[in-house]
Amino acid sequence: MSSLLEIRENIRNFYSRNEVYLQPLFKFLLALVALLMINGNLGFMSKIDNIFIVLVLALMCSFLPINLLIVISAVFVILHFYAVSMECAVVGGVVFLLMLLLYYRFAPKDALIVLLLPLCFVLKIPYAIPIIVGLLCTPASVVSVACGVIVYYMMDYVKLNATVISSLDADNAVSKFRYVMDGLMNNKAMLIVLISFCITTIIVYVIRRLSVDHAWTIAMFAGAVVSVVMLLLGDLTFDTNISVVATILGTVVSLLLAKLVEFFAFNVDYTRTEYVQFEDDEYYYYVKAVPKVVVQMPEKQVKHITEHQEQDAEMPNVSETENNTTVSEVSDLKEVEQKEEEDQSEQLKKESDLAQTTIFNDSNMTEDILLTRSLSKELGLDQNEEKKE
């Protein structure tokens, strides 16, 4: 777990250091994928179905606000609709205008949702968007989710019925308008998915706001279950031909993506939860404090090497060699002096031992002489010798 946390911190630090370069890159990639997806699914107008035009527009979008990418994508879709019929382009333009007004009124900061939801439909994992939106955004983001669903199903309807729309009587514009409008309004699959995604988003938002442990995980699974149940019930009721296996597999993948988002956005340690209670003059406060899971990154020690140090490291140092030679000579002299001192100390020790031996012998001779004299006095030998003299 600690290694994953280190990877997360490294990714965050890398993004914070290079945010100026990464944001334009991400916008370029998002615009490129969105425009390529539009051309790949529609492709009715060959003049704009050109990789050079797509690259130029994607490069422009990398330096523009992301909301303008929605406008450019809408223009691309309307141009492809115009290649099918003018009436289809008019209907598409009116729908986009209404969606843009609702979008800019309620959720002007949710441009990514409108762009990513059709892409996720193409990747067969659209169920991830309402779950992630409920975790990260507000209930107003339901408008962006609904706009994304409408855009995808409108494109899909025109793609599947382009031949029929083109074959209708060119002089009877009313019939074309009616055919296109009826196809969009009576699209039961779109209505089921739209209602399901909106309700899933609200349920996930409400549950993850609760003051319970693992609220985000509970919200994810609750939203996934609600989404699957509503889609399957809608399919049984209106016979919309929704694939059960694809829905379940897509929901499982969506849960994995939601857990990945939670790991980066809301990773806390519920085992160290603390409850705090205090009051002021007007209120009592009951606070639940859940600490975030953080890891202490190892500190890197950077050694700065100057130009002089590099030159010293590359060129041999003569003074150091001379110093080393001098040190070795001095150490040799010290060893010789130490040996001489040891020899002198040993010689002094021998002389002191010899002197002590000599003093001891002299003291023994003196004691013998005194003892002899004392005995001679006691025996009267000294007096006999004096008489003889």
- Rounded to two decimals, the pTM is 0.72
- Tally Cβ neighbours within 10 Å of residue 146: 23
Structure tokens at 251: 């929901």
> Residue 354: which pLDDT band, with cuts at 50, 70 and 90?
low
More confident residue, 198 or 317: 198
Q: Tell me how long the chain is.
A: 389
pLDDT (mean) for 174-198? 88
Please give the pLDDT value at position 266: 85
- Rounded Cα distance, 207 and 182, in Å: 37
Three-state DSSP class for 208? Answer: helix
Beta carbons of 155 and 180 less than 8 angstroms apart: no
Q: Which of 143-147, 176-180, 337-341 has the lowest mean pLDDT?
A: 337-341
- Tally Cβ neighbours within 10 Å of residue 316: 7
> Is residue 315 pLDDT above 90, yes or no?
no
Please give the pLDDT value at position 386: 43
Query: What are the CA-CA distances from residue 234 to residues 4, 239, 317, 328 (Å)?
Result: 40, 7, 85, 94
> Is residue 15 pLDDT above 80, yes or no?
yes
Please give the pLDDT value at position 296: 67
Query: What are the CA-CA distances from residue 199 to residues 128, 194, 195, 308, 325 (Å)?
Result: 14, 9, 6, 69, 86
pLDDT (mean) for 304-311? 58
> Is residue 305 pLDDT above 80, yes or no?
no
Q: Average pLDDT, whole number, for the chain?
A: 81
Measured in degrees and rounded to the nearest 5, phi and psi for residue 371 equal -65, -40
> Residue 204: which pLDDT band, with cuts at 50, 70 and 90?
very high
Beta carbons of 161 and 44 less than 8 angstroms apart: no
> Is residue 217 pLDDT above 90, yes or no?
yes
Please give the pLDDT value at position 120: 92
Structure tokens at 88: 């289809």
More confident residue, 304 or 275: 275
Please give the pLDDT value at position 387: 43
pLDDT (mean) for 365-371? 59
First-to-final CA distance of the chain: 123
Please give the pLDDT value at position 298: 61
More confident residue, 288 or 55: 55
> Residue 106: which pLDDT band, with cuts at 50, 70 and 90?
confident
The DSSP secondary-structure symbol of 141 reads G
Please give the pLDDT value at position 384: 46
> Is residue 383 pLDDT above 50, yes or no?
no
Beta carbons of 133 and 113 less than 8 angstroms apart: yes
Please give the pLDDT value at position 302: 61
> Is residue 272 pLDDT above 90, yes or no?
no
Q: Which amino acid is at 347?
A: Q
Please give the pLDDT value at position 388: 44
pLDDT (mean) for 271-291? 86
- Tally Cβ neighbours within 10 Å of residue 166: 14
Please give the pLDDT value at position 209: 92
Measured in degrees and rounded to the nearest 5, phi and psi for residue 109 equal -100, 10
Residue 76 host element (H or E) = helix 66-84
Q: Choose among 95, 66, 62: nearest CA to 78.
A: 95
- Condensed to tens digits (0 to 9), the pLDDT of residues 113-134 reads 888 999 999 989 999 999 999 9
- Condensed to tens digits (0 to 9), the pLDDT of residues 225-235 reads 999 999 999 98
> Is residue 255 pLDDT above 90, yes or no?
yes
More confident residue, 292 or 305: 292
- Condensed to tens digits (0 to 9), the pLDDT of residues 148-165 reads 999 999 999 999 888 888
- Rounded Cα distance, 262 and 220, in Å: 10
More confident residue, 272 or 1: 272
The DSSP secondary-structure symbol of 285 reads E
% pLDDT > 90, the chain? 33
Q: How many CA atoms lie within 13 A of 133 on its CB side?
A: 31
pLDDT (mean) for 311-340? 55
Please give the pLDDT value at position 78: 93
